[in-house]
Amino acid sequence: MARTRYGTDRGLSARMVGTLFGIGLLYVILAAVLLAIGVNAIWVLGISAAMLVGQWWFSDSMAMSAMRAVVVTPEQAPQLHAVIDRICAMANMEKPRVGIADSDVPNAFATGRSAKRSVIVVTTGLLKRLDPEELEGVLAHELSHVAHRDVTVMTIASFTAILAGFMMRSAMWGSFSRNRDQNAALVFLAITVVSVVVYFVSYILMRALSRYRELGADRGAALLTGKPSALARALQKISGDMASIPTRDLRQMEPVSSFAFAPAVSAGKGINLGQLMSTHPTLEKRLEQLARISAELGER
């Protein structure tokens, strides 16, 4: 992929490499433990790897289906395409597919296994709430995810916890089917402990990367458009409107909330554990960063 004008985010790149390395190391340890207790780890890992490839390959279709989004042409959504065309021209990057989801939740997300297979989806709720400058800021944020390829890394990382659960369940039942004596209890205990550790560490690594990538995308969008205040206004509008969105609409957004511009449900204020588990940094932290960039750019 050609280098875009979003530039290189070395902090994000380092964190993506570190996250993937950490998760890979977890699975090496997991395989070693499974082999040590007599489980056919190769078979379990093979099935899990196949599931992961399937998740990665069909990530765009799965996200579109979850949101009931449809790809729209320039003739169907001329204003939306015009904004994305302008951002792609500024960023010197390939234009992704564009989709719209019929949902009152004001949000947007980008997904896809590669730049050529990426898609940016916006909800009808977002389109009716934001002015052109604010919409440009949100879309520039999503295109930053595509440019930095963190969408692909998050697609892989988001599935690791599910894989851990599947691998351990498969190993557990396989062990019990062959080993019904008193050793079964010890095997069950060992599998449970390893399962919890792998799941928890994968979860924390993924959440930490997710929060950093959101700040990176805010930063990239603000510097590319030169209008951090517009992105800040969009954040405030979306966060403020979330409280008035029906629960059923928020529930529809949950399958892709970790990829969305703003979380469907905000984490509680002042709860460190909630922030640790959150996929997004706090609104205050995002606004503080945008305010600093605005001051650096001398924006009025």
Name the residues annotated as catalytic: 142
| β-sheet bridge partners, residue 120 | 98, 110
In the chain, the amino acid numbered 75 is E
Cβ-in-10-Å burial (0-12, 13-18, 19+) of 217 comes to buried
> What does the DSSP 8-state code read for residue 130?
-
Q: Alpha helix locations (H) across 68-182?
A: 78-91, 124-129, 132-147, 150-178
The residue whose two tokens read 């050609």 is 2
Cα dihedral value 219, 223, 229, 232, nearest 10: -20
Beta strand pairing status for 97-101 and 69-71?
antiparallel
| β-sheet bridge partners, residue 158 | none
In the chain, the amino acid numbered 42 is I
Q: Which of 13, 12, 121, 1 is nearest to 59 (CA)?
A: 121
- Alpha-carbon distances of 101 from 44, 70, 194, rounded to whole Å: 37, 7, 40
- 118 backbone φψ class: left, alpha, beta (φ>0; ψ -120 to 50): beta
In the chain, the amino acid numbered 194 is V
Sign, CA torsion 51/56/61/62: positive
In the chain, the amino acid numbered 25 is L
